[in-house]
Structure 1
Amino acid sequence: MTQLRQRMSEDMQVRNFALNTQLSYLQQVSLFARYFGKSPDLLGREDIRTYQVYLTNEKKLAPGSIHTAIAALRFLYSVTLERDWAPEEVLPLPKKPQKLPIILSPEEVQQFLGCVLEVKHHAILTTCYAAGLRISEAVQLKTTDIDSQRMVVRVEQGKGQKDRYVMLSPKLLEILRDYWKVRRPVAWLFPGDRAGQPITRDAVGHACAKARDLSGLSKPVTPHSLRHAFAVHLLEAGADVRTIQLLLGHRSLATTAQYLRIATNKVCATSSPFELLPRPAPTLPPAAKPQYF
């Protein structure tokens, strides 16, 4: 490990960055240095601009991926290297397209979960939907996080390093109890293949893709799709946005409010003004005139 990499790592540690964020930032800076074949402290603003053009035009990365790379470089040059130029001006972020997720109906969720054949995979994917968890939160659940007395699930150190509680559905509790009787997990609720480690996100994603193929659904399905479905189905059932924000663990209410654009009872409840127009009387074509020439 180089001295610069060690220093950047320590800078992130003292700011208590999430481990995944630290690893991602270090990887992005490593790719940046490898592109030029030089240490980042020998590179400047023009090099960064060249790299941004490369990511956009040659690598053709999605705006979200470019955001991650730019965030890592901003931290490196503004915090670790303490450059005196404003990184926000030198490192502009590309505009992200505003896309709405494709939402599964309740019937499609049931059809999908019915095709998850392995008991552990069925339990964790059901948990993602029933509690609205991120996959990173679901894989980190411990057996002690299931509180059947209060009927809540404790999410420890979710995104943003925040604890929260979500509802424990009686149906989910029944599924988890049936799963526990078969597998008897001890520490991690969903243990992985490696001893002492939880199941990986990749393993859950693979199981999700397999079940989606078996289900015959035309819509894309990922573990995060189940979280989206949880939020929209709650909203359509009458839950208020503030409650959904707390359940999802969103920092901003504006993030949760985006689901208002998807919920059919919010978007489609109002009749189209076309329905107010009087029905036009049928117009008969004019009678054909005889032709003599």
Structure 2
Amino acid sequence: MNDREIHVSFEYNDELVKKIKKVEGRRWQPHKKCWVVPNNVKSINSLIRVFVNDNVSWDKSLNPFIKNNNDSNLLDINSTLSQLEKQLTLIGYSSKTKKAYKGHIRRFLTFNNNTKVLEKEGVEKYMYYLFNEQQNSHTFVNQALSAIKIYYEYVLKKGKVLYDLPRPKREKKLPNILSQKEVISILDSVSNTKHKSILFLTYSAGLRVGEVVRLKVDDIDSDRMLIHIRQGKGRKDRYTILSEVALDMLRKYARIERPENWLFPGGKDNSFLTERSVQKIFANACKKAKINKNVSVHSLRHSFATHLLEQGTDLRYIQELLGHSSSKTTEIYTYVTEANISKIKSPLDRLLTR
């Protein structure tokens, strides 16, 4: 760091790159392989706010700024987050949701210099900041607002003072779907039996990544050809189909690895494979299969539903297999299926092929 600029460096990570791009005045220096931020109060405060939840090694000269932004009431923040986690546990939220909500409240308090209670206008100002300056998605801002409302109601005991605060309109985005040919290419590109079994199960049963990694050996019912999903999203149990092809792959995997408790154990004792590991497995498979679409592991679940719909499976059965509470959630696949769209003939074809 010099008098005019601050150097920021980290191993490449998509999320960290997105964060640093939110800092005004930042620029990339290829020859130094680091980001450069102007050495002024505004940029430093922005930098600290963006990386408030990350493990950062700060230059000692930035200590006064860090204290003002983060440490001046750190004990109170930690106490507040502890109270929030307790309330979220009592409500029945999953550990993943609790972690997300605590992150939102930490950022909210940090943005407001640890002011615990703000008027409605202050919360609206924060929402505007998330939208306009940080350019977060509607989903992210909606979740932030949900966390703040719970914080006000259950931790601060302020009741529903934010009840009528408007929510961002939900974005109507269609999922990216893999064709059946692309799915085959992805599955064929994986040679590791354990990795192959994970992707086979994910696609063949329409599983969420958090569901497939938490499967236990006893959850595979080969007699009834069903998979028991325990405490999926919304803390709901359900059954979904077990593919014969996937079962054959699982048996091959079991002969090699011999799993005892978790179907796909992780590196630590009595732990399951992390979701991040499965995401990497899928990303590597897509790279080998030369799939250039913007897809993730969750795209296998979307593709499962879409392919079933194209085969003529009733939407109500698909809803049950996916574990959707509302049929409206499942209906999104009617917009991406080729079964109906392919029947429509373009007017250009009618004009020029008479």
Give the unaligned 5+ runs of structure 2.
1-74
In structure 1, distance between residues paired with 2:96 and 2:122: 26
Contact 2:193 2:249 in 1 (8 A): no
Higher Rg of the two aligned structures = 1
Aligned ranges for residues 26-37 of structure 1 at < 5 Å? Answer: 26-37=102-113
Question: Percent identity over the alignment?
Answer: 36
Cα-to-partner distance string for 1:60-90 (whole Å, 9 max, x where unaligned): 1111111111110011112322325542323
Residue 178 and residue 38 in structure 1: after superposition, are their counterparts in 2 closer, same or farther (change >3 A)? Answer: same
Aligned partner of residue 231 in structure 2, secondary structure: strand
In structure 2, which of residues 153, 156, 159 is the aligned counterpart of residue 81 of structure 1? 156
Moved more, 230-239 or 30-39: 30-39
- Measure how far apart 1:257 and its partner are: 1.0
Give the letter aligned to residue 237 of structure 2.
D
Tell me which of 55, 64, 75 is aligned to 2:130.
Answer: 55
Residue number in structure 1 paired with 2:229: 155
Name the amino acid aligned to 2:271.
Q
Task: Determine the structure 1 residue equivalent to 2:95.
Answer: 19
Conserved 8 A contact 1:208-1:221: no
Q: Does 1:45 pair with 2:102?
A: no
1:151-201 deviation line (CA, Å, top 9, x unaligned): 100000000100000111111100000011111111100111112110001
Q: Moved runs in structure 1, 4+ residues, more than 4 A?
A: 272-280
SS in 2 for 1:157: coil
Separation of aligned partners in 1, 2:353 and 2:149:
61
Once the 2 structures are TM-superposed, how far is the Cα of residue 43 of structure 1 from its aligned partner?
A: 2.6
Take 2:293 and 2:127, find their aligned partners in 1: how far apart are those partners?
A: 33
5+ residue gaps, structure 1, are 281-293
TM-score (norm 2): 0.74
Relative contact order (alpha carbons < 8 A, sep ≥ 6): 1 or 2 greater? 1
Partner of 2:202: 128
Distance 2:217 2:352 in 1: 62
Determine which of 211, 214, 219 is the counterpart of 2:288: 214
Q: Say if 1:88 and 1:173 are closer, same or farther in 2 by CA, change over 3 A.
A: same
- Secondary structure of the 1:158 match is coil
Aligned partner of 1:142 among 196, 216, 240: 216
Please tell me the root mean square deviation across aligned C-alpha atoms, in Å: 1.8
Secondary structure, counterpart of 1:69 in structure 2: helix
